[in-house]
């Protein structure tokens, strides 16, 4: 089973959670339309320690170097980056739209805050997605309980702080339920 | 139990440790 935490050695720094990193790319043409969202998701790797994270991350392209319509999904092991997953069904996400040129720095700041447990919302964080698009890039942070207002507000405040967003930056909360409709 | 919390600077410091390569 690929979705179990990898082993770590005693001299590594264990993370609170193990994570899996996924990649997806929208395929143009007929084949792309035939493939489900699930079939487009490719597992890149898993990690359970800080050292394993850097080992994986340093071999990856930065988000700004990716082609348009490519996404990275970083989720806790055991949670698939899909609305349909049990952990996401009642959840939602903060959506941050970024003008071109900011995404690599913001993505790194976000995942370091997530791995380091800076959000302080217990089990609530599910994962993060970065989406490279034509005119802008989008970063999303998914959490379990969309109806928990104090948690979603706390996540928003931490997100704004760790991304170093200007007060005018637009942040929007979407429940997965709304996205499905 | 206790949550494992790491500051950004601490994580960045481990970036170049031999185990991270």
- Are the CB atoms for A73 and A81 separated by under 8 Å? yes
**Long-range pairs of A122-127 with CB within 8 A, sequence gap ≥ 24:** A124/A148, A124/A151, A124/A155, A125/A76, A125/A155, A126/A75, A126/A76, A126/A79, A126/A87, A126/A88, A126/A91, A127/A19, A127/A73, A127/A74, A127/A75, A127/A76, A127/A79, A127/A81
Mutate to test the interface with B, among A12, A51, A123, A162 (most CBs of B within 10 A): A51
pLDDT in tens, A4-13: 999 999 999 9
Is residue A79 over pLDDT 90?
yes
pLDDT, mean of residues A68-85: 94
Is residue B11 over pLDDT 70?
yes
Shortest distance between the Cα of B5 and any Cα of chain A, in A, equals 5
Among B6, B7, B19, select the one facing A11 at the smallest CB separation: B19
What is the reported pLDDT for A30? 67
pLDDT in tens, A23-40: 999 877 766 666 777 888
What is the reported pLDDT for A81? 93
pLDDT in tens, A131-169: 999 999 999 999 999 999 999 999 999 999 999 987 777
Is residue A15 over pLDDT 90?
yes
ipTM over 0.90: yes
What is the reported pLDDT for A165? 82
Instruction: Find which of A14-18, A27-31, A166-170, B15-19 is predicted with most confidence, using mean pLDDT.
Output: A14-18
A16 touches chain B (CB under 8 A): yes
In whole numbers, what is the pLDDT of chain B averaged over residues?
A: 92
What is the reported pLDDT for A37? 79
Q: Do A117 and B17 touch (CB under 8 A)?
A: no
What is the reported pLDDT for A31? 67
pLDDT in tens, A80-137: 999 889 999 999 999 999 999 999 999 999 999 999 999 999 999 999 999 999 999 9
């Amino acid at each position: 089973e690929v979705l179990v935490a990898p082993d770590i050695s005693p001299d590594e720094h264990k993370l609170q959670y193990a994570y899996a990193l996924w990649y997806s790319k929208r395929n143009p043409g007929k084949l792309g339309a035939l493939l489900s969202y699930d079939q487009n998701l490719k597992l890149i790797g898993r990690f359970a320690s800080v050292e394993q994270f850097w080992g994986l991350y340093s071999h990856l392209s930065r988000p700004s170097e990716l082609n348009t319509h490519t996404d990275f999904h970083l989720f806790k092991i055991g949670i698939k980056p899909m609305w349909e997953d049990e952990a996401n069904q009642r959840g939602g996400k903060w959506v941050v739209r970024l003008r071109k040129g900011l995404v690599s720095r913001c993505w790194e700041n976000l995942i370091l805050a997530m791995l380091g447990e800076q959000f302080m919302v217990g089990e609530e964080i599910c994962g993060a997605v970065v989406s490279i698009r034509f005119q802008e890039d989008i970063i999303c942070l998914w959490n379990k309980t969309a109806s928990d207002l104090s948690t979603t507000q706390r996540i928003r405040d931490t997100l704004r702080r760790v991304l170093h967003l200007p007060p005018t930056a637009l942040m929007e909360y979407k429940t997965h339920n709304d996205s499905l409709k | 139990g206790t949550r494992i919390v790491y500051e950004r600077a601490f994580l960045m410091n481990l970036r170049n440790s031999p185990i991270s390569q």
